[in-house]
Amino acid sequence: MQYRKLGRTGVEVSTQTLGAMMFGAVGNPDHAESERIVHRALDAGINFIDTADMYSAGESEEIVGKALKGRRDDVVLASKFFFPLGEERNARGGSRRYIFRAVEDSLRRLGTDRIDLYQMHRRDWETDLEETLDALTDLVRQGKVLYVGSSSFPADWIVEAQWAAERRGGVRFVCEQPQYSIFARSIEESMLPAARRHGMGVIPWSPLAGGWLTGKYRRGEQAPEGARFAPSDNPAWRGRTVDTDPSVSARYDAVERLSKIAEQAGLSLTHLALGFVAEHPAITSTIIGPKTMAQLEDLLDAADVRLDAATLDAIDEVVPPGTDMAGIKHMTGNPSLDAENRRRS
């Protein structure tokens, strides 16, 4: 395992981050196994764990908190806020009122007195960004949060947040958590350069494109049971299947071509995909999100994978730099694209 500075902070984090989204009802409901996954990751040298209050409605944070008892100081612990966890109208978003409530709930579930990196899970189009940053600044001054970051912010919002922090004399976002994989490369055009200009760390999520870049989805074959895009009764994934995705044919084609590139490089498709993300100079640490111990072991084996220029050039032929595969969604929630806002009459 290697380590890098988190942006311009003095904190060193492992180049793999243990993502905890699959801990709990959405992924693995076995708390004991999830805790063992955390312990194995720490023993392998991972010192960066990322969760969120909305993962399995807080269950993920509870699992992580239990797993870190006695080892809390060995870990850079990250969580996120934004998404609603109930029906109350103000229990969501980036308002001061909600942030102060959300952080207390996360601290309680995690069983800790501080969150090392507290991230805004999505943009709040309805709340002044300065209000959000002022609230986060107060949390840092209180010691409940040490650093703050953003997730899925485009380049213009990244820049605006930096300027707002400077204007207000408050804390700045030290890192960004975007979607990034061979299938989702649009952030290479402007978001990653903006992050580098402002000295931000980058910790991308979904480097395996929801499992597509493991090779588990193949043309003419049924998706394996339990896979994210297989038919499921789990309400978190209901309706998201390969059978209902109109872009699936292009993805099958890409997987077939990428599998050949991986074979020529002497790698599995999974390791090729993780190596690709890690090669970009803007990337600090790649989030891996295992559901089982076997998945974790495979992902750990990719920690030191490096791709040569020929392999990277071959990947560029499949998905050109700065572009996304059809069907990729960045979940921006941009209200400007709603029908009622994009018409002139």
Query: Tens digits of per-residue pLDDT, 95-130?
Result: 999 999 999 999 999 999 999 999 999 999 999 999
User: Is residue 264 included in any domain, yes or no?
Assistant: yes
Q: Indicate the residue type of 296.
A: L
The C-alpha torsion from 334 through 116 and 299 to 256, rounded to 10°, is 10
Q: What total number of domains does the chain contain?
A: 1
User: Is residue 59 included in any domain, yes or no?
Assistant: yes
Domain containing residue 177: CATH number: 3.20.20.100
pTM tops 0.75:
yes
User: Is residue 344 included in any domain, yes or no?
Assistant: no
At 327 the pLDDT is 83
55 is catalytic: yes
User: Is residue 38 included in any domain, yes or no?
Assistant: yes
Identify the H or E element spanning 300: helix 293-300
User: Is residue 345 included in any domain, yes or no?
Assistant: no
Range of the domain at 51: 3-338
Among the options 55, 98, 180, 217, which is catalytic? 55
User: Is residue 343 included in any domain, yes or no?
Assistant: no
Segments of 121-185 assigned E as strands: 145-151, 173-177
At 345 the pLDDT is 53
User: Is residue 119 included in any domain, yes or no?
Assistant: yes
CA distances (Å), 196 to each of 127, 201, 241, in order?
26, 8, 36
CB burial class (10 A; 0-12, 13-18, 19+) of residue 211? buried
Taking the alpha carbons of 245, 247, 253, 255 in that order, is the dihedral positive or negative? Answer: negative
Listed as ranges, residues in the chain with pLDDT below 50 are 237
Between CA 239 and CA 245 the distance in angstroms is 10
User: Is residue 250 included in any domain, yes or no?
Assistant: yes
